[in-house]
């Protein structure tokens, strides 16, 4: 390859990675009611880009040698299971070590991040491996296809797992948590394996009808991902309205809070609180309170005590801000 070809390939890979990061940023932004800390989302992306591929290579190599598997068998089912498990470790670390993960939407955000991080590294590996035996045009096409399709499959598979971990978090008993976690891993693996098996079949024969069905299935998965994200966001809005309405009924907060906080466009308006910084802090505290209250109702007794203490502390901080300003919203 010439120097120009190498530069073009490097530029394509760089642009691909930037696009994947932008997708993660967009999904993070859409989680508008309770956005996750950026450092955690970035950390999960890095896990998907570095730790998960290394673990996957080690475990795939060991599994292949132990079970004497052909590359086709490894890529078909065992590979996806191992790769999704490696990505899942990053998600589980967030659930266990962070108090920020508390609903299915969070799982979709973190799942998308770890999936696209993994896809970024996989793009690099496949592109470098294919660069030696292909024309530059074919290699650039490989980058494009993997960015538009393969990366999306990784995101959908891992986001499915993440969403199920979110439902597991909200489950009351250990059995339900276990079942949700297993369901997420199984669904993520099936999505990933379906993609791999289709590619393996297309290496031997490509029929227009089969290609159309395959492309339609990918589109359906993308639509399902977007619909699930929309449904989860609507669910968050209902939780906000319901939990804050309880606070108003108990006369903890004034009634105007229920008319503002659950609605994103009203939250970003400047007429319900004079200071932008304090408005941002107050909206975040009220949102945190609503979701922690919701979690307390679903957590086991031992875990709910700590979350219940946080609810009390959040109420105190919010009331202090309201009393200090003695503020009523401007109509």
CA 19 vs CA 50, 110, 140: distances in Å? 18, 17, 15
Residues 199 and 245 in one domain: no
Kindly tell me if the per-residue pLDDT of 44 is higher than 90.
yes
* Paired tokens of 229: 């994200």
* Assigned domain for 152 exists: yes
Quote the crossing angle between the two packed helices 151-169 and 208-249, to the nearest 10°: 30
Judge if 48 and 118 occupy the same domain. yes
Least confident of 122-131, 239-248, 273-282: 122-131
Q: Are residues 195 and 260 in the same domain?
A: no
DSSP secondary structure string, 110-161? HHHHHHHHHHHHHHHHHHHHHHTTS-HHHHHHHHHHIIIIIHHHHHHHHHHH
Q: Based on the domain organization, do 153 and 15 belong to the same domain?
A: yes
Predicted TM-score (pTM) of the model is: 0.86
Is 191 in the same domain as 271? Answer: no
Give the per-residue pLDDT at 148: 80
Q: With bands split at pLDDT 50, 70 and 90, how would you rate the model's confidence at 9?
A: confident
pLDDT single digits (tens) 208-259: 556 677 778 788 889 999 999 999 999 889 999 999 999 999 888 888 889 9
Is residue 231, in this structure, part of any structural domain at all? Answer: no
Is the pLDDT at 134 greater than 60? The verdict is no
CB 105 within 8 A of CB 232: yes
- The verdict on residue 282 lying in a domain is yes
Under a CB-based contact definition with an 8 Å cutoff, are residues 53 and 22 in contact? no
Q: Answer yes or no: do 190 and 247 share one domain.
A: no
Residue 324: predicted pLDDT: 74
Number of structural domains found in the chain: 2
Asked if residue 263 and residue 199 are part of one domain, the reply reads no
- Those residues with Cβ within 8 angstroms of residue 121's Cβ, 6 or more apart along the chain or in another chain: 48, 49, 50, 53
Q: Are residues 50 and 100 in the same domain?
A: yes
pLDDT higher than 90, residue 52: yes
The answer to whether residue 232 sits within a structural domain is: no
| Residue 248 token pair | 């108003």
> Measured between alpha carbons, how far is 221 from 140 in angstroms, rounded to an integer?
25
Tokens in use for 119? 């896809």
Q: What are phi and psi of 88, to 5 degrees?
A: -65, -30
Write the pLDDT tens digit of every residue in 183-195: 999 999 999 888 8
If asked whether residues 252 and 108 sit together in one domain, one would say no
Say if 219 falls within a structural domain. Answer: no
Report the percentage of the chain scoring pLDDT > 70.
84
Shared domain for 187 and 250, answered yes or no, is: no
Least confident of 77-81, 163-167, 315-319: 77-81
| Signed CA dihedral, 299, 302, 305, 307: sign only | negative
Q: Which domain holds residue 85?
A: 3-204
Is position 29 within any domain?
yes
- Residues 204 and 4: their CA atoms lie apart, in Å, by 33
Both 153 and 253 in a single domain? no
Judge whether 215 lies within some domain: no
Encode 277-309: b = buried (16+ Cβ within 10 Å), e = exposed. Answer: eebeebbebbbbbbbbbbbbeebeeeebeebbe
| Same domain, yes or no: 102 and 38 | yes
Tell whether 227 is covered by a domain: no
Q: Tokens 């004034």, residue?
A: 254
Crossing angle of helices 38-46/104-131, nearest 10°? 40
């Amino acid at each position: 390859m010439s120097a120009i070809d190498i530069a073009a390939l490097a530029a394509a890979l760089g642009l691909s990675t930037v696009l994947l990061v932008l997708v993660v940023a967009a999904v993070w932004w859409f989680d508008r009611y309770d956005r996750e800390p950026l450092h955690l989302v970035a950390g999960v992306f890095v896990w998907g880009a570095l730790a998960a591929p290394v673990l996957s290579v080690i475990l795939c190599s060991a599994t292949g040698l132990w079970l004497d598997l052909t590359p086709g068998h490894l890529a078909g089912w065992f590979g996806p299971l191992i790769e999704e498990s490696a990505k899942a470790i990053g998600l589980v670390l967030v659930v266990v070590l962070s108090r920020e993960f508390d609903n299915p939407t969070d799982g979709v955000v973190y799942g998308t991040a770890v999936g696209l991080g993994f896809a970024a590294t996989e793009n690099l590996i496949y592109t470098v491996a294919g660069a030696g035996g292909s024309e530059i045009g074919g290699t650039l096409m490989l980058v494009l296809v993997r960015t538009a399709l393969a990366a999306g499959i990784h995101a959908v598979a891992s986001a499915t797992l993440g969403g199920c971990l979110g439902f597991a978090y909200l489950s009351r008993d250990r059995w339900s948590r276990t079942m949700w976690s297993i369901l997420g891993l199984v669904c993520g693996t099936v999505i990933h394996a379906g993609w791999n098996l289709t590619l393996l079949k297309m290496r031997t024969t490509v029929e227009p009808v089969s290609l159309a069905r395959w492309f339609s299935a990918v589109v359906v998965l993308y639509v399902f991902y977007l619909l699930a994200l929309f449904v989860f966001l609507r669910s968050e809005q209902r939780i906000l309205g319901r939990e804050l309405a309880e606070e108003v009924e108990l006369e903890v907060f004034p009634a105007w809070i229920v008319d503002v906080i659950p609605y994103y466009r009203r939250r970003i308006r400047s007429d319900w609180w004079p200071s932008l910084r304090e408005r941002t802090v107050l909206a975040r505290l009220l949102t945190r309170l609503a979701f922690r209250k919701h979690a307390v109702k679903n957590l086991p007794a031992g875990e709910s005590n700590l979350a219940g203490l946080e609810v009390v502390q959040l109420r105190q901080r919010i009331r202090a801000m309201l009393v200090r300003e003695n503020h009523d919203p401007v109509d």
